[in-house]
Structure 1
Amino acid sequence: MKLDPIIAVQDVQKSADWYESLLNLQNNHGGDNFAVLQDSSGETILCLHQWAQHHHPSMENPDLAHGNGLILYLKTKDYRAIYDRAKEMQIEMIEDLHRNINSLKMEFSFYDLDGYYISITEDHNYED
C-alpha cells in the first residue's frame, strides 16, 4: 500500500514550481487543476489539486483552515540540500535546522505557499 497525499492549493502551477524548486521534483501531470510531483525515480511525493474542482468534499471551501491536523513530514537523505534551497528561496523557518530530541535526527519546518505545515527530516525508520 502507498499513500499519495493530495493537497488543495490556490494556484497549482505556482505551487508546483515552488515545490519543484525546493524539493527537486518534477511535475509529471500538466494542467491548471492538478499536478503530480515526483522524484527522480518516478516516486510520487505530493499531488496538488485546485480548490473547488471536481467536487471533492474536503477541497470545496478554501476559506476553511488549510491543513489543520496535518503535517507534511518528508524524510530524506537530501535534507541539507533542501534546507540550503529553502534559505536561498527566503522561506521563513518556523523551526530552523536542529536535532529533534525524539528521533535524534536533523530537521526543520516551515509553511508552504498555501499555509500547509512542512517538516523536512533526515531519513530514518521509526523505532520503539
Structure 2
Amino acid sequence: MRPQPLIAVSDVEKSSAWYCAVLDAKSAHGGPEYERLEVDGVLVMQLHKLDVEHHHGLFGDPAHPLGNGFAVWFETDDLGAAVERARGYGATVQTDVHLNPNAQHHEIWLRDPDGYLVVLASSRGAEEFAVQD
C-alpha cells in the first residue's frame, strides 16, 4: 500500500507551483482542476480544485476553511535544501527549524497558499541540523 494524499485547494495551479518549488516536485498532470505531483517519479500528493465536482461530487465544502486540523507531512533526506527552497520561495513559516524531541528529527512547519500545515522533516536520527538565519 502507498499513500496518495489528495487535498482540496482554491487554485490548483498556484498550489502546484508552491509544492513544486518547496518539495522539488514535478507536475505529472497540470491544469486548473487537478494535479499530480511527483518526486523522483513517485506520486507524493494530488491537488483538486475545491469547487469542481467531476464524477465524484464536490471534494470539500467551500463554506468551511481549508486545512483546519490537517497536516501534510514529508520526510526528506536533505532538510537543509528543502528549507532553502521554502525560504527562497517565500513560504510562510509557522515554526522554524527545530528538533522534535519525540521523533528525534529536525523539522520546519510551513503554511501553503490555502493554509494547510506542511511539515518538512529530516530522517529519524538525522545528524544535527544547523539553523540558518
Gaps of 5+ in 1: none
The residue matched to 1:75 in structure 2 has which SS?
strand
Aligned-partner Cα distance in 2 for 1:18–1:60: 21
- Asked if 1:67 corresponds to 2:53, the answer is no
Alignment map for 1:41-60 (pairs within 5 Å): 42-53=41-52, 54=54, 56=56, 59-60=59-60
Task: Name the structure 2 match of 1:24.
Answer: 24
Aligned-partner Cα distance in 2 for 1:93–1:56: 34
Gaps of 5+ in 2: 126-133
Alignment map for 1:72-91 (pairs within 5 Å): 72-91=72-91
Aligned-partner Cα distance in 1 for 2:74–2:105: 12
Q: What one-letter code is carried by the residue in structure 2 that aligns with 1:24?
A: D
Aligned length: 124
Native 8 Å contact 2:50 2:62 kept in 1: yes
Aligned-partner Cα distance in 1 for 2:86–2:63: 27
Query: Structure 1 segments of 4 or more deviating over 6 A?
Result: none
